[in-house]
Every structure is written in C-alpha cells, then in structure tokens.
Structure 1
Amino acid sequence: MTVVDDRTPIIVGVGEITHRNKQAAAGLEPIELMARALQAAQQDAGAALLAELDSLDVVSEHSWPYTDAPARLSERLGHWPARRVYGETGGESPVRFIHEAALRIARGESRVAAVTGAESRYTVDAAAKQGIDLDWTPRDDSVKLLRGTDFCHPVAVRHGAAMPVSIYPFYENAALAHWGQTPREARQESAALWSRYSQVAAANPHAWQSQAFSAEEVAEPSAANRLIAWPYTKYMVANPMVNMGAAVLLTSVGQARALGISEQRWVYVWGGAAAHEPRDYLQRDQYHRSHAQDLVMESVLAQVGGDAAAFAMLELYSCFPIVPKMARRTLGLAADAQMTSTGGLSFFGAPLNDYMTHAAAGLVRALRGAPGKAALLYGQGEYVTKHHALVLGSRPPPQGLPPDDYSVQAAADARRGPVPAFIERYDGAASVETFTVIYGRDGLPTHGIVIARTPAGERLMARVEPEDAQALAVLTDLERSPVGRGGQVTQGADGALRWSLA
C-alpha cells in the first residue's frame, strides 16, 4: 500500500457559475460571481473550507475594475485570508496560481488555498447599450488594466497588430508553411479541431454556447461567421461576451482527512512546468513554433514517462486554433485527439484570463470519474508568450511531492535562434516571413499586415493597402502559402512602411 505524505497537495473542490440572464439590470457583478463560484466549490468539497482559507488568488479581471478585488471578495465572504493576491494579466495565470498554491501546501506554508476569477462582460456591454447604470460595487476606472498597446512595439501598435486577434494569425500562417500545408489544409485542420471543441461545449452545462458546429460551418465565412483576421473566422476566435465565474479549492491530504473530505473528491497535483517567450513578439527568432511551449510540453511529458498516452484527458489552451495545433505536435498526439474537457474559448466562452479556472474544474470532475488516470492542463498568456502546464491525477503522484522549481526557462532560452534586427525605415525588396489580413464588420479587408525580411535578413513590419487587390489575393490564396513570396517595401508619407508584390 502506498503511503501518501500528509502534505501532498490536492484539489478538493471546484465551482462554476454561468449567468445567462439577458436583462442587464439582473446581471451579477464579477465579485458576486466569484463568491458564488467559491461557495459552489465548498459545496463540491463537502466541507466548510472557506472559513479555513489562508490563501486567496484572484485572477485579473477586466469587465468591472475594482480597487482591491481580493479585499472586496474577502469582505463579501466574511473571511480574510492572510495571503490575498490579485493576479497580473495572462490566460495562463489560473494554471500558475493552482501550481503555486500546491507548492505552498507541499512546503507547509498553506493549509487551504483558493483560486478564483470572473468576468461580466456580457452584462456590462448590454447595460452600456441600453443606457442602464448598474447598481454594483463602484467601478474604479483608475485601475490600470494591462493591454497589448502597453508592451507591443510601437510599430505593431501603429499597424493595428497589438491585439490577440491580429497576432496569433502570424503564428498560424508561418506554421502552416513550415509544416508543408496549403492554407486550405490548415484551415480544414483548424475547423475539424474546433468542431470537436464545440461538441464538448454543447454537452457542458456550464458553457455559454450550447450549439455544436460542423467543420464546414466553422471554416466557411458567412453572415454569422465573418472573417476576422486571416485565416480566422468568427467561430475560430475566443468569445469574451460572457458572464462567468469559477473557483478551485486546494488543501493537503492531511488537512482533507482532518476535515472529513471524501477521498472520492481528491485530485492530486503531480507537477508542472512554465516558460515564456520575449514579450515583444517582433523580437522573437521565428513564428512557426514557440520554444517555451515546446519545453513546457516536453517537461510535462517527462513527468508521465514520456508518452502523451498517459494523459487520459487534456485541456490545451484554445484562444485560437494555432495554440493546440502546435502543442499537440510537440506532444505527439494524433490530429483527431480530443484536446478539451471544457469546450474551448470560442464555444464554452472566454472570460478573459479566467478560462483555465473553468478548464481546471472540468478536468477535476472528469478525473474523479476516471480512477488511476492523469490529465494535462495547459494555459497560455499574452501572445504565444507565457506558457504553464500542470499534471493532475486521480491517484497520488508517482514521483512524490511536486518539485520546488517548475521553470524550464533556461532550456527554452538556449533553443532560441538569432533574432533578426528589426528596422523601421526601409525601401527595397522584402519577402514575406508571415502575415495576416484584417477584416471589417462588413466582411471586407481593411488592410493586410506583413512581417517581412530584407535580403540582408533584417525584419520589418509593413501594411498592405485595401486597394491592393492583387497583393491581398496572393495573401489569401487557399492553395498556396505566400510565406517566402518576394515583394517591394516603400516608405509612406506617414512614415509607415507599405508592402506590395514585386
């Protein structure tokens, strides 16, 4: 019989709230959603854990800024944990918070910890459109919410390439060319993958969207599924227009026994890995892979013996198709592998930074019904920038307590190749390194954005004008990738670079 250390960290309670009321006046503010999610997690655990909380991590929240969200939440709960932390922006942050909470528990620094977050974007936007003043905790618009324009290169900001929807396509278009796919083949892969995500969401009672879509419906542009940024349609893009909250409660094996929590509720934290890319994506060596993601995936694979078959279930972050497409290749998964237990950010819903708290809840529930199995929880933050993965199991970790050092940053940095010099002024030949085309609500292109390389190997970013139909047609050709295609760059009167066919 395996003897389990009393300090072994476990997840014992998960809770989710999806508030679909279409009347803005009846909407619930994020703090209320968090409180209800925590109460649901406590009920799920079957023990009075909230009164025992000594650590509270609140995921960065954007739809209704609070001066001190952890303090507001503690006041709402009537309990003040000694450690209260408000997280920084990042879709991977819930995974990191769960991992760090587990490490503190393993070290004996914490007895009961909570990770929670919520967004009420659907209600906030509906109230603004209806001219309704929400009777919520006063909003604090002085709170600084980190956005892409705060840390992307000024040239990227000028070209409208400082938002996720305009940046992830750079990786999509570079990767498909590197993998030897035609754009049509890559689109079919994305659509089939997203169709499977939608089917999971349709069966998830907590999902915002309950409709399953075929691969054809995901891929083909239509009135309901317009092009957003080439090659992504609306159904391939994360949907932040939701009201959702989620919470995870962790403790130790010894504390769970003392509180009388049934072992059937326990899910063990086995270990994890984290790494990041340079924050300025124009200062990366290439766009067809992420060294940080690769090392994180390889690290968690090693923790389960080197074979992804050890993962009975997965949650691979899904803000855009390129993320799980890259991850599944590193993991060695089949193209038709099931890569979500939640439904994905397009169909389940995208409560901004908090999706992975919901994903953790989904995996915990799935593991409870799968004795002896393991699962992979992988999140990503910013623009293919921050990567964090966690291995969970329905049995004790075979390697013992999680390691204190979960970073693989040095190995990721060592793999990085030379970074091309970025130039802002240029006139001459340049070939496409990667690109996207941005579309308006009318379905027409507003402009293209090309990251290009000069004959000397320098990197630049240039705009393709919407009137340049020939260049846009080449960029959006489904039968042939334009990566590597030669062109001509000129300097506009406004100082911005323009790219056209040679």
Structure 2
Amino acid sequence: MNHRPENTPVIVGVGEITHRTKDLEQGIEPIDLMAGALREAERDAGAALLAQLDSLDMVLVRSWPYPDPCGLIERRLGVKPARNVYGPSGGESPVRHIHEAALRIARGESRVAAVTGGESRYTVEAASKAGVTLPWSEREPLQPTPVAAAFLHEVAVAHGMFLPIYLYPLYENASHAAWGQTPREAMAESALLWSRYSEVAATNPYAWLKKTYSPAQIGEATAHNRMIAWPYTKHMVANPLVNMGAAVLMTGLGVARELGIPEERLIYVWGGAQANEPRDILGRDQYARSHAQDLVMETILAQAGGDASAFSMLELYSCFPVVPKMARRTLGLAADARMTSTGGLSFFGAPLNNYMTHAAAGLVRALREDRGKLALLYGQGEFVTKHHALVLASKPPAPDALQEDYSVQSAADARRAPVPPVVAEHAGPATIETFTVIYERDGRPNRAVVVGRTPAGARLMARVDATETATLAQLTSLERSPIGSRGEVSKGPDGLLRWKASA
C-alpha cells in the first residue's frame, strides 16, 4: 500500500481503567469507563487529541448493552467524530478496529482515530445478586437465548453445546492427542503456561488478580479450583467478572510530529492478517488445529522476517489454553516463551470483547521501553472462529509493509478437508473424534458430550450420562487419550444420542 510518509499510522496514546469496589453505589458503568480510558489515553499522548477526533470505533458491550453507545460517549466527552461505529461481537474485534483505523489514517481519510471498550460485569452481577437496580444509563433487555444458538447446528444446541467453556475443550482434547501428548502431559503444559501468564498479571497495575499461581494451583482440581469442563479447571477459564475500560488513540506520523509528541512515544502499525473458521462448530473439517489461525500466524511471521524471535513481545489470546498452545506451535515458539504483555484472561481479567484493547496498551508500553523491537498482537473470537493479528513496532515499517488487503481467508479455505455430514440418528459403532466432560459446581460429572464418527464417516454428537462411570473413567484417563477409541451409540429416552465405551 503506497501512502505519503506523513500518513504512516502510529499509536500515540493508550489508557486503561480497572475499577474494583464492592460498594454498588461506587460502581462505574461501561460508558464512563470508556470515557475515562479515552481521557487517560489523551494524557498518555501528551496532546489535545480528543477535540480533533474524527473516527471512533467502540467494542461491543455485553454487561450493560446500550441503545445508543456511540451517542453516549460523544456526549460524555463533548466530541462529534464524523465516523463512529459500534462493532460486532468478537474477542478479535479490537485488533480489527486498530488495523482498520491504521488503514484509514494511511489513506488520508482520518486525522485522529480512537478505539475503546469497557465492561462492568463485576458490579452488574453483584447488583443482580443483591436485588439492587443500578442508576445507570438506559440499557437494552437481556437476550432470552444464547446468541450462538442462532448459528450453531441444531444438534449442538440440543446437547447444550453453545457456551465457550464447553466448546474450546473439543479443540484442547483433539489437539493434544494429535501432538502425541498424554492428557497428563497436556494438562501440565496448560498449567505451566497459565502460571507464567499469572506472573505477568501479578506485576500489571491494571490486572484484576495480582497474584502468581503455581502450576499445581492451576492444574489440580480442588474445592477452590473445581473442574469445569474437561480438562479445564476454574483457573484455566477466562474471568469476565471485572470492571475495566481501555482505549487506544492513533494518528498519522505527520500529525504526531505537528503536535510535538516525542518520537520515542510512537508505536507503528506494520501490518496484519485475518481469517475465520466456519461459525458452526460441527461444520469444521477437524478439531486438532485451526486453518485460519495457522494462515494468520504464518502470514504475520513472514511480515516479521520469517523468524518468531523477531518478536520481543507477544500477546497470544488466552481465553483457554488451547488457543495460545496452537499458535505458539505454528509460530515455532519455545514452550517457555513469554506469550503475554498483560496477564491473560484468567488473571488480568476478561472484559469480554475488549481484552485485546488492554493487550494493545500493554504492548505499546512495553515497546516504548524496548526501542527498535517488534510485537505480535493476536486476538481470537467466538469458538476458535475469528482470528486477527497485527505486527506492532517501535520503529518505522518498510514503505509498503501495510497492505490494504489483509485477509488470508482463501488460503485458509483451501487447506480444509471435506466436512463430514452431521447425523442426528445412528445406532451402532462409532469412534471418538473429540469430547469433553461437563461438571457440577460440587465437582461431580454432570455429563460428557462426544463428537464421533460413524463407520461411513458421518459426524454425530452423543451424550454420556453421569451414571456411565466406566465410560467417564475412560474419557478422563490421564495416561491415555480416548480420541480414536470405539464405542456404541444408541438413542436415549430424550431423543438424543448416547455414547458408551466399548468393553
């Protein structure tokens, strides 16, 4: 992409707010967290940027959905950007917003752009439990059914498989079997990785949990760290009960110099890549890897010169361990590589769609302290579905580094094998493609859900009831993965298929 040098996009300011209080009267609603974060970003830049704001992207808010969020933020700040966009859902969306803002600046369409988001689920949940009505801005009613039910296969919905905590383990269990790991080895890798994420959160002033957890504290199921969905314990799961806001301010190199922002404060957007998996979890060719993630990581690696050691800092999205574990293998990173600047969604906190805005802020601060280095910002959304990554740097890119067309979708699609048909009826043998076990709050299994393949190659989903202790024991063996093992499928009294391990 050819652009004038003065239009080279740079991040000039970042702001974060973490508001912890059990006093409901002191709770801050998301729109005010965003306004505060934008003011913090302006202070960080050291220049009066908000008055010149012409483009605003707002990350979708879940904890307090507003009818007119962009209008609210404009009134809070006294600004009226020519362009304001309320984004769609997705954990990767802040990365996309930053990338698109960089392209608009490079084309000369924007002078000052902002990306912001905020969530107050900690206060909202506390108020709900206490029966307290929060005196906040008007909100829209809650959705009566999970959003994912609209695009997942009816078989998955019938089995209750529409929550992230139930679906990510399908990739976790399939991938570690493909890597030749035993479940014990895979859980140890996850626990060690998450322990390192917690170390970063412990030193981050904006983190929700400022505590280092040992691998044993993360990986071992206890009364305080219950198993939620095999093989994930509570400490391996994103924590959305936070009050957080974050913002990024961007402009062109010429404007930054005009405003007197020091060169050492400028962080450059070199380029990026994006691709998606099919939204329906049962409409994918396999669960041992993500072709979309692979292509995004490979493209980003090429942009950095072909060697992941070029990245002195990384943020690999961390809603569940399988996501960064897959990404670091594609990148060729060592198992002990530091893969977060922020602390991860379990320990820093998971402000729903907005975590990557905080991650961008963390990388910006780190790059300012380590001049001449590159950083990788990788976000992921839905259920290993949407993937977007950026190369950030504290040094200018090559003139043609930022490309207008950053999608690698066609290449990802070309790698996919044929998708098996999904059947709701089957009686007889089938093999396990992947699975998870879902647990009660007291640690007892509620049920397992198996994705299987029939002898004819069709895909099915079947339930294992809590009474099937022998089958559950096989599924949760630490020494041997059940992936590929045979079982018998029959119809249960509720019309759903049941799975039973072969003797």
Same structural fold, with TM-score higher than 0.5 when normalized by the shorter chain: yes
- On the 8 A contact 2:59/2:86 being kept in 1, the answer is yes
Partner in structure 2 of residue 64 of structure 1: 64
Greater mean alpha carbon deviation, residues 177-186 or residues 20-29:
20-29
What does 1:473-492 align with in structure 2 at a 5 Å threshold? 473-492=473-492
Greater mean alpha carbon deviation, residues 253-262 or residues 375-384:
253-262
What does 1:454-473 align with in structure 2 at a 5 Å threshold? 454-473=454-473
Distance in 1 separating the partners of 2:227 and 2:493: 30
Q: Which runs of 4+ in 1 moved over 2 A?
A: 142-147, 398-401
Distance in 2 separating the partners of 1:462 and 1:131: 39
Partner in structure 1 of residue 275 of structure 2: 275
Q: CA deviation at 1:399?
A: 4.8
Q: Does 1:344 align with 2:344?
A: yes
Distance in 2 separating the partners of 1:325 and 1:103: 30
Partner in structure 1 of residue 46 of structure 2: 46
Partner in structure 2 of residue 286 of structure 1: 286
- Give the secondary structure class of the aligned counterpart of 2:7: coil
- Give the secondary structure class of the aligned counterpart of 1:25: helix
- On the 8 A contact 1:66/1:143 being kept in 2, the answer is no
**AA in 1 matched with 2:223:** A
Q: CA deviation at 1:145?
A: 9.4
Partner in structure 2 of residue 223 of structure 1: 223
Distance in 2 separating the partners of 1:253 and 1:339: 29
Partner in structure 1 of residue 387 of structure 2: 387
**AA in 1 matched with 2:132:** I
- On the 8 A contact 2:4/2:106 being kept in 1, the answer is no
- Give the secondary structure class of the aligned counterpart of 2:301: helix
Q: CA deviation at 1:143?
A: 7.6
Partner in structure 2 of residue 407 of structure 1: 407
How many residue pairs end up in the alignment? 500
Partner in structure 2 of residue 79 of structure 1: 79
**AA in 1 matched with 2:306:** G
Distance in 1 separating the partners of 2:500 and 2:55: 55
**AA in 1 matched with 2:46:** G
Partner in structure 1 of residue 148 of structure 2: 148
- On the 8 A contact 1:15/1:39 being kept in 2, the answer is yes
Structure 2 CA distance for partners of 1:342 and 1:142, relative to 1, 3 Å:
closer
Distance in 1 separating the partners of 2:308 and 2:142: 45
Partner in structure 1 of residue 206 of structure 2: 206
**AA in 2 matched with 1:159:** H
Q: Does 1:192 align with 2:192?
A: yes
Q: CA deviation at 1:148?
A: 1.8
- On the 8 A contact 2:207/2:347 being kept in 1, the answer is yes
**AA in 2 matched with 1:285:** D
Q: Does 1:308 align with 2:314?
A: no
Q: Does 1:106 align with 2:106?
A: yes
Q: Which whole-Å deviations, capped at 9, do the CAs of 1:197-233 have from their partners, x for residues lacking one?
A: 0000000000000111001110000111000000000
Q: Which whole-Å deviations, capped at 9, do the CAs of 1:28-84 have from their partners, x for residues lacking one?
A: 000000000000000000001111110000001010110011111111111111101
Partner in structure 2 of residue 496 of structure 1: 496
**AA in 1 matched with 2:464:** V
- Give the secondary structure class of the aligned counterpart of 1:387: strand
Distance in 1 separating the partners of 2:147 and 2:397: 38
- On the 8 A contact 1:25/1:127 being kept in 2, the answer is no
TM-score, normalised by the number of residues in structure 1: 0.98
TM-score, normalised by the number of residues in structure 2: 0.98
Quote the RMSD (CA, aligned, Å).
1.3
Aligned-residue sequence identity (percent) comes to 66
Unaligned runs of 5+ in 1: none
Distance in 1 separating the partners of 2:136 and 2:263: 39
- On the 8 A contact 2:146/2:162 being kept in 1, the answer is no
Partner in structure 2 of residue 121 of structure 1: 121
Distance in 1 separating the partners of 2:35 and 2:459: 48
Q: Which whole-Å deviations, capped at 9, do the CAs of 1:122-168 have from their partners, x for residues lacking one?
A: 00011111122111112221789972222211211121211100000
Structure 2 CA distance for partners of 1:179 and 1:142, relative to 1, 3 Å:
closer
Q: Which whole-Å deviations, capped at 9, do the CAs of 1:448-492 have from their partners, x for residues lacking one?
A: 000000111110000000100000000000000000110000012
Q: CA deviation at 1:4?
A: 8.2
What does 1:337-376 align with in structure 2 at a 5 Å threshold? 337-376=337-376
Q: CA deviation at 1:281?
A: 1.1
Q: CA deviation at 1:398?
A: 2.7
- On the 8 A contact 1:8/1:401 being kept in 2, the answer is no
Structure 2 CA distance for partners of 1:142 and 1:287, relative to 1, 3 Å:
closer
Unaligned runs of 5+ in 2: none
Q: CA deviation at 1:180?
A: 0.3
- On the 8 A contact 1:4/1:396 being kept in 2, the answer is no
**AA in 2 matched with 1:134:** L
Structure 2 CA distance for partners of 1:143 and 1:218, relative to 1, 3 Å:
closer
Distance in 2 separating the partners of 1:402 and 1:451: 41
Q: CA deviation at 1:400?
A: 3.5
- On the 8 A contact 1:367/1:375 being kept in 2, the answer is yes
- On the 8 A contact 2:91/2:382 being kept in 1, the answer is yes
Partner in structure 1 of residue 245 of structure 2: 245
**AA in 2 matched with 1:288:** A
